[in-house]
Structure 1
Amino acid sequence: MVKRRFPNPRELAPLMKFKTPELNGKKRRLDSALTIYDLKEIANRRTPKAAFDYTDGAAEFELSLSRARQAFEDIEFHPDILKPASAVNTSVEILGGNSSLPFGIAPTGFTRLMHTEGEIAGATAAASAGIPFTLSTLGTSSIEDVKKANPNGRNWFQLYVMKDREISYGLAKRAAEAGFDTMMFTVDTPVAGARLRDKRNGFSIPPQLSLSTVMNAIPRPWWWWDFLTTPPLEFASLSSTGGTVGELLDSAMDPTISYEDLNIIRSIWPGKLVVKGVQNVSDSKKLIDLGVDGIILSNHGGRQLDRAPIPFHLLPKVIKEVGKDATVMIDTGIMNGADIVASIALGAKFTLVGRAYLYGLMAGGEQGVSKMISILRSEIERTMKLLGVSSLEELEPRHVTQLERLIPRK
């Protein structure tokens, strides 16, 4: 029998402490986010459908994106036991400099449409975290303004080869003069992918109003207030706007891009040069043999060729061919710090996050980007401790098994 008694108020007091309410709405929202998917939900609530879908969507049936995310979920970790890792070192040397974490912010276009703070928020948060920030050719902040926001950190520049080559060459020279240390020469966008969400939403630059966009904006007045009361969008690489994103890309990009263009950019660019958008083993080997400083296995976040190879699945095959000392990086589908740990274990030297960054940006501007970085950092650290590794150098392929789901038919 349980003996009962009247509760003693002095004993109850320590058990009934009320949490101090958070009056700052943005901080309250961001504090509630425990994962990148939580930031995604907040972003969806706060951002008009057309802008959110531009970030969240991919090409055609969005199979490349869903498969990339599934590939990270279809892994099995193999931890070591009785191997203390109470403190972990997450820093890495990449492309001649240090990063406090094994990931950087990927290049994203039209970023101020997602949130008015745009690239400046991303560059500032990256500077505070000690990780690289990458500015896109189609960014909505200038090279010089990003440098001001991140004057002492790692600034990288992503370059598209435009039909008007002088535009691309001029951007490369400006980035070099501003002290950007790495260029991402992007090779997977000769034409725009079929991003069907954008077409269905009528997403254009500048935004075009319709009855549906107005109705969708009513519960999100803060986004429109920010958009209408801040400087208009400007694109360093586009001389005119007024169409869907796909139409703008097709008008600017050149499908005749070739190795000759890569050679010209190498002659112009004084810093590190990496090729972004590599999607097979033979191209990886050829580029490494040509002496580029690194390659990025990427299918452009699933936004170009749907059903393209899954970068995470391609990674072990490329490492086997080019050697573990080559600088091979990876993006597409990363939504958890464990995804990053698995990539490093299988041979990647570094990773890049795009959508995760934009979800954080839409959820809370610069503070939201910092929250995104914080979430991934804690997931990386916790995964490393549970695996029994104290540094990224200790991660090995034996720590990860890629479980098979999509198996080629023989």
Structure 2
Amino acid sequence: MQRRLYPGRDFRRAQNIDELREMARRRLPNFSFEYVEGGADDEVTLRRNRSVFEGITLQPRTLVDVGQRDLGCHFFERPSSMPCLIGPTGFNGLLTDRGDWHLAQAATRAGIPFVLSNASTVAIEEIAAIDGVRAWMQIYLYRTRQHVADLVARCKALELEAIVVTTDSAILGNREWDRRNYSRPLKLDLRNALDVAAHPGWVWDVLVPHGVPRFKNLGNLLKPGQDSVKGAASAIGQELDATLSWQDIAWLRDLWPGKLIVKGLMHPDDAPQALKYGVDGVVLSNHGGRQLDGAVSAMEVLPGIVRQLKGRVSVFLDGGFRRGTDILKARLLGADGVFLGRAGLYGLAAGKGPGASHAIEILRSEMDRSLGLLGCSSLEELTPDLIHDPVWRGLAEAIRR
């Protein structure tokens, strides 16, 4: 009998993230799924983000008592149930109605932080009102700095823990497959318009309740009536600032008294700058393969940057995480935690909030099982000798010297 993924719609039957991905693909119209799925140019970096994990092989111990296992860790001295969190992803209102709210609820149920995207269709005030939520806010340093200052003021009023400033999108990447869905900017071509009509479940979920989703955190950045996903896209593009520099991080640091995290760092020469400008954390990221095609994966630069920053700045990363073992490999190479992007979105698209929770629990189960199979009871027991490859093991050992 030929192998195949579960072909139905019951997200609870999904065995892994790839199966949730297939359910999401079937439920969403093509243009919406392509926005989540696609990368830049030839998608070399998009593929590299996944293939890098195959080269890091593990060498487990045996005859070790692993009857009690604990995935718990700390981010900024506060506990997290496992070494991952839901990272910022925009336009989630095109996956399901109030998508970001559902994702935040899922993260809260799982006991991990949630980072709301600047390009969210749910207001940060609604997220902060969720009982027990650990909410962080992503921002872009747009040309209109008063908007940025106003958003920071909102975050201060809500007493949020952290701001995550994304720095790798000052120039928008070349996402050809996404653009092919449109006959002109923001106008779906006939094929995609008919495809939307062929997904009535999505139409009733996303478009019927409140119309085209509207941005809720862009405020004075947009003209009246241009706050819809369709109307705001061109305005946001014009606000991207190619002059962005570390001096702008200094400006933001003066405004924001909480934890400040810089997302998009990839070069080891940038690591000392994070220390110089007083940031509390960095996220190593190539933006999910959606910006510079041909860039290395965050996993490849992780050990070198951790070696420079370990103990002084928290180091996170994202890009291609689909298995619990992927997350454990990042911990072995020195990461404090992993930002989840597409993995959570596949669950959200397949089954709203419960689907997102299922995606998180799949990864939790895989991490717990793999931790035990490695012969470890906690994340602290993950040591370089568990890596088989000499090069990767050497990098992991260098971090601990």
How high is the TM-score relative to the length of structure 1? Answer: 0.87
For 1:325 and 1:348, how far apart are their aligned partners in 2?
Answer: 13
Cα deviation for residue 80 of structure 1 reads 1.4
Q: 1:204 to 1:336 in 2, by over 3 A?
A: farther
Contact 2:253 2:278 in 1 (8 A): no
Q: 1:36: which partner in 2?
A: 17
Closer, same or farther: CA 255–244 of 1 in aligned 2, 3 Å: farther
Q: Which moved more, 1:43-52 or 1:61-70?
A: 61-70
Matches within 5 A, 1:290-301: 290-301=277-288
Once the two structures are superposed, residues 252-281 of structure 1 have per-residue CA deviations (whole angstroms, 9 ceiling, x without a partner) of: 211111112111111111211111100111
Write the mapping of 1:173-188 to structure 2, written as runs, cut at 5 A.
173-188=153-168
Q: What is residue 238 of structure 2 aligned with on the other side?
A: 251
In 1, are the aligned partners of 2:88 and 2:138 still within 8 Å (CA)? yes
Q: Which amino acid aligns with 1:168?
A: V
Distance in 2 of aligned mates of 1:67 and 1:244: 34
Aligned position for 1:193: 173
CA distance in 2, matches of 1:244, 1:306: 28
1:222 maps onto 2:201 in alignment:
yes
Number of equivalenced pairs = 378
1:391 aligns with 2:378: yes
Looking at structure 2, the residues matched to 42 and 107 of structure 1 have their Cα atoms a distance apart, in angstroms, of: 22
Within-5 A mapping of 1:273-352: 273-323=260-310, 326-352=313-339
Match of 2:132 among 136, 149, 152: 152
1:110 corresponding residue in structure 2: 91
Task: Tell me by how many angstroms 1:117 deviates.
Answer: 3.0
Structure 1 unpaired stretches of 5+: 1-24, 406-410
Larger Rg: 1
- Between 1:108-117 and 1:244-253, the stretch displaced more is 244-253
Describe the SS at the equivalent of 2:10: helix
- Equivalent of residue 122 in structure 1, options 81, 91, 103: 103
Distance across 2 between alignment mates of 1:204 and 1:369: 33
Matched, 1:73 2:54: yes
Mapped pair 1:234 → 2:214: yes
- Structure 2 counterpart of 1:254, which letter? D
1:4 aligns with: none
User: Which residue of the other structure, out of 146, 167, 184, is the alignment partner of 2:147?
Assistant: 167
The letter of the residue matching 2:179 is K
What is the rounded CA distance, in whole Å, between the counterparts of 1:334 and 1:272 in structure 2?
Answer: 25
> Please, what TM-score do these two structures have when normalized by structure 2?
0.89
- Name the CA shift for 1:380/1:204 in 2 (closer, same or farther; >3 Å): farther
Correspondences of 1:359-398 after superposition (within 5 Å): 359-398=346-385
Contact 1:103–1:351 (CA under 8 A) maintained in structure 2: yes
Shift of 1:393: 1.2
Partners of 1:193 and 1:246 within 8 A in 2: no
Write the distance in 1 (CA, Å) between the matches of 2:260 and 2:183: 33
Residue equivalent to 1:61: 42
The AA in structure 1 aligned to 2:193 is V
**Structure-1 separation of matches of 2:152 and 2:30:** 34
SS at match of 1:76: coil
Structure 1 residues 293 and 325 mapped into 2: Cα distance closer, same or farther (>3 Å)?
A: closer
Corresponding residue SS for 2:180: helix
Distance 1:79 1:325 in 2: 30
**Contact 2:344 2:356 (C-alpha < 8 Å) held by counterparts:** yes
Contact residue 99 and residue 348 of structure 2 kept, 8 A:
yes
Structure-2 residue corresponding to 1:14 = none
Structure 2 residue corresponding to 1:356, chosen from 333, 339, 343: 343
Superimposed CA distance per residue, residues 93-144 of structure 1 (whole angstroms, 9 cap, x where no aligned partner): 1023211111000101111011113100001111111110000111111011
- 1:202 pairs with one of 162, 182, 187: 182
Kindly indicate whether the alpha-carbon contact (under 8 Å) linking 2:167 and 2:264 is maintained by their aligned counterparts in 1: yes
**2:398 matched to which residue of 1?**
none
